[in-house]
Amino acid sequence: MTIHDSRDLAVSTADADLVAGLEKAHELFLTYSGDPLGEIEEVLDGAPDFVMGHIFKAALLTQAMETRIYRDMVDALEKAEALAMRANERERLHIRAIRAWADGDFHRAVDLWDEVLVHYPRDLLALQLAHLSDVLLGDTTNQRDRVARILHAWDESVPGYGYVLGLYAFGLEENRDFAMAEECGRRAVALNPADAYAVHAVAHVMESQGRQSGGINWMRSREGDWAYGNFANHLWWHLSLYHLDLGQYDRVLDVYDTCLRSTDQSGDRYEELDAAALLWRLNLLGVDVGERWKTLADKWEPSATDTLYAFNDVHAMMTFVADGRWEVADRVLHAHERYTTAANDANSAMTRTVGEPFCRALKAFAQEEYGAAVETLLPIRYRTRYLGGSHAQRDVIGLTLLEAALRDGRHELALALASERTALKPTSPQNWRFAARAHRGLGDHRRAAEAEARAVALHG
């Protein structure tokens, strides 16, 4: 027996209440609110043979990218696999995709979710998982085009259309189509103010365009919709970036202390990497953050050698080197060496290409070996998308390279890098301050003063 869900997709069950419970859990996942895992577990407690329930649980856990979560994901997957004979073709494709993910073949998993979307373009779970995986893998083009490929099957009459627009908005932004990205993002938020991902897409547009005051106003005006959900840490990080660009470091630290810093020692890695990324940016700018590094490094140290996801590893490394934990930093590098020698999965390629070199550069930078940091980062600066994340998140690599060049006295290189930044985002005070320092290092005090004046004028 099958029942069709709100988007007319067949679900292998005869119980309409199970489908309703599944859709409720998925809505929480889409809005980054509540407890979608607890919601689906409650459904499964009463119906342990509900195959799509196990699929959803396993799919949800794929996105955690944490070793401590991995066993739970595999358990849910194995329960779904044991029920595969009861599943329909769409559901079996989901099972195969999650199995590929569990085996470390992230690209194959995305290909299988894409196959689901070709045949079932209204499968919002497949779309969400493929899109989030594109972000994890740094597949910028498909962050946009994968959503575009299913738009023919959607309009405002289909439940969840706003979420599709929100995903599309982010993909458009990452491909620098800022006008359409903002239009789609604002439209998604108008359809559903609780869509934190769409709020986040518009925040990205404003950060990329250097619209600091507009970004602050956007985030604060929507604060009631996002500040208490499961995506709040990342959105507080976005708000902090605007203040950071304006040189308002006291406000950045206030946001960090009151909103961004997690108090849970076990930690959610996605939350903790936002904290590490923000403190490292402050560190590059010479801002004293006191004991904050120690607290954060304490949280990261238990997972120092996980090597499950390179993006996590580099943020862990920031905390270790900033707090002077050289032995722990070396453990990370040794774990990378063992892992990349033995493994051949998607993450090992990410680690080998960007993660491990960036970790070495972070250690060199913290030990004031700025020349070594420059030499390590220069060859990978155009490959950083393979680390995953967004342009805004990966910008920390470019910032580290530029600051290392300045501190190493390589002012011609620093000026070239700063010029690249001012051309791309001319309304960024921080970019003009970098340019001023480079000109000053080259002895061109007139142009240094002009760049500094631009920075001051942009403070508003």
Are 66 and 16 in the same domain?
A: yes
Residue 105 lies in a domain: yes
Are 247 and 370 in the same domain?
A: no
Residue 356 lies in a domain: yes
Q: What is the pLDDT of residue 415?
A: 98
345 vs 112, which has greater pLDDT?
112
Domain total of the chain:
4
Are 271 and 310 in the same domain?
A: yes
Measured CA to CA, the distance from residue 386 to residue 340 in angstroms comes to: 15
Instruction: Tell me, rounded to whole angstroms, the distance of Cα 193 from its chain centroid.
Output: 21
The CA dihedral of 362, 365, 367, 369, to the nearest 10 degrees, is 130
pLDDT above 90: residue 93? yes
Give residue 342's pLDDT band: very low, low, confident or very high (50, 70, 90): confident
Print the domain residue range for 227.
176-260
Measured CA to CA, the distance from residue 348 to residue 103 in angstroms comes to: 12
Give residue 269's pLDDT band: very low, low, confident or very high (50, 70, 90): low
Residue 161 lies in a domain: no
Residue 165 lies in a domain: no
- Of 235, 260, 285, which closes a domain? 260
Residue 164 lies in a domain: no
pLDDT above 60: residue 263? no
Q: What angle do CA 151, 155, 158 make, to 5 degrees?
A: 110
Q: What is the pLDDT of residue 260?
A: 83
Residue 159 lies in a domain: no
- Of 94, 119, 153, which closes a domain? 153
Measured CA to CA, the distance from residue 454 to residue 448 in angstroms comes to: 10
Are 199 and 288 in the same domain?
A: no
Q: What is the pLDDT of residue 401?
A: 98
Q: What is the pLDDT of residue 270?
A: 58
Are 396 and 274 in the same domain?
A: yes
pLDDT above 80: residue 344? yes
Are 252 and 272 in the same domain?
A: no
Burial class (CB in 10 A: 0-12, 13-18, 19+), 157: exposed
Pick from 136, 5, 126: nearest CA to 64? 136
pLDDT above 70: residue 266? no
